[in-house]
Structure 1
Amino acid sequence: MMRLIHVVVIGMLVFAAAYVYRIKMESTARTEKVLQLHAEVRKEREAIAQLRAEWAKLDAPGRLQGIAERHLKLKPITARQFDQLKNLPARPPSIVNPNDPDPIASMIEKIDPDIVTGALPAREAAQ
């Protein structure tokens, strides 16, 4: 009887050791995956920082000014190019009175919800 108890206890100890070893290996694999993800995130952040620096260089006002002067045939603005406000054309008349209901909303409300929209006829869309 004692021998059977010893064999069962030893078996349980071996099973427990195997289970703990499996848990340790899983946690090691997950730790490696987390470290790999951290490295990827760091690499992507560095790439983003590099792209932002490149964008700042390309977007520099001095550089853009030089490119504009080389490639665009622009002339300086003179005082004769400006006009007075009294010479502006009159504002066009308002088509819709501000107190009237919204004409687009009223058209949307009139749409039948049973109408199928799209490229297929209604009976093909139902199938």
Structure 2
Amino acid sequence: MMRIIHLAVIGMLVFAAAYVYRIKMDSTARTEKVLQLHAEARKEREAIARLRAEWAQLDAPGRLQGLADRHLKLKPISARQFDQLKNLPERPPTIVNPNDPDPIASMIDKIDPDIITGSLPAPEAAQ
């Protein structure tokens, strides 16, 4: 009877040792995974810092001004580029009777509809 108890105790000790070893291996694997995730996060933070530094360099006003001077054929504004006051439309009356037609709408109605302004596509291209 004692031999059976001794064998059972030895079996339980072997089982307990195997279980503790399994727990230790699981915790080691999880620790390695956490360290790997920390290393990846550090690499990503460094990459973000590099990209921010590169963006700051690309977005520098002096660099952009140099590129604009080199690639855009812009000229300084001269006083002759502005229209004369006599060519401006007359100012609408300051007090408008509600029964009178809208003076701004009448100016808009006089605009040629074939003139394309801004970034709107031509009517044929829009269809």
Tell me, in whole angstroms, the C-alpha distance in 1 between the residues paired with 2:69 and 2:20: 72
2:14 maps to which residue? 14
Counterpart of 2:51 in structure 1: which amino acid?
Answer: L
Deviation above 6 Å: which 4+ runs of structure 1? Answer: none
Tell me, in whole angstroms, the C-alpha distance in 1 between the residues paired with 2:89 and 2:56: 42
Normalised by the length of structure 1, the TM-score is 0.63
Tell me, in whole angstroms, the C-alpha distance in 1 between the residues paired with 2:8 and 2:82: 101
Pairs aligned (count): 92
Aligned positions of 1:1-127 closer than 5 A: 1-82=1-82, 87=89, 90=104, 92=108
**How far off its partner does 1:43 sit?**
0.6
Tell me, in whole angstroms, the C-alpha distance in 2 between the residues paired with 1:59 and 1:34: 37
C-alpha RMSD of matched pairs (Å): 2.4
Q: Identity of counterpart residues, as a percentage?
A: 80
1:7-59 Cα offsets, whole Å, 9 max, x none, are 10111011011001001001101110110111011111101110110011011
Unaligned runs of 5+ in 2: 91-103, 110-127
Tell me, in whole angstroms, the C-alpha distance in 1 between the residues paired with 2:22 and 2:11: 16
Counterpart of 2:24 in structure 1: which amino acid?
Answer: K
1:63-118 Cα offsets, whole Å, 9 max, x none, are 0001111121111123444457x649x4558xxxxxxxxxxxxxxxxxxxxxxxxx
- Larger-Rg structure: 2
Unaligned runs of 5+ in 1: 94-127
| Structure 1 pair 87–30 and aligned structure 2 pair: CA distance change class (3 A) | farther
| Structure 1 pair 16–61 and aligned structure 2 pair: CA distance change class (3 A) | same
With CA pairs under 8 Å and 6+ residues apart, which has the higher RCO, 1 or 2?
2
Counterpart of 1:32 in structure 2: which amino acid?
Answer: E
**How far off its partner does 1:60 sit?**
0.5
Secondary structure at the counterpart of residue 74 of structure 1: coil
Normalised by the length of structure 2, the TM-score is 0.63
